[in-house]
Amino acid sequence: MIAIAQRVSRAEVSVAGTRIGAIERGLLVFACAEPGDTEAIADKLVAKLLKLRVFADDQGKMNRSIVDVQGGLLIISQFTLAADVSAGNRPSFTGAANPELGRALYERLLATARALHPVVASGAFGADMQVGLVNDGPVTIPLRMT
């Protein structure tokens, strides 16, 4: 799985003008399943996100996790993270999982995150979404789980 985690002061996602998910301080996570990904890989991503030390401690060092700061997670499915532009200017998305696997692993990400963390919001798989955020730092961390 490929993911981008952004430390945010706040973030929200809307579909057709209706807000469907929002968090205050926390992590906005864009996630993409790849062919061959499994539920175990999705679980590994959630574990990493919950332990990722990207929030400042009392000395200003990135030393605290989302659990430590009691922040929120907003998880958005984004197959375009698998884009390949090596052969031309139009992206190819053959590196993304098929929609059935992508949906199943996205739902697994959400279920695992919700079982382990109290504040989890989400987008809508396959929807045309509008995402708004205030990136804090900015801090943006790419992740790849295998």
Q: Is 70 among the catalytic positions?
A: no
Distances (CA, A) of 86 to 80, 92, 121: 14, 9, 34
Catalytic residue among 78, 94, 112, 146: 78
134/6 Cα distance (integer angstroms): 9
Catalytic residue among 6, 30, 55, 79: 79
Q: Is 78 among the catalytic positions?
A: yes
Catalytic residue among 70, 80, 93, 130: 80
Tell me which residues are annotated as active site.
Answer: 78-80
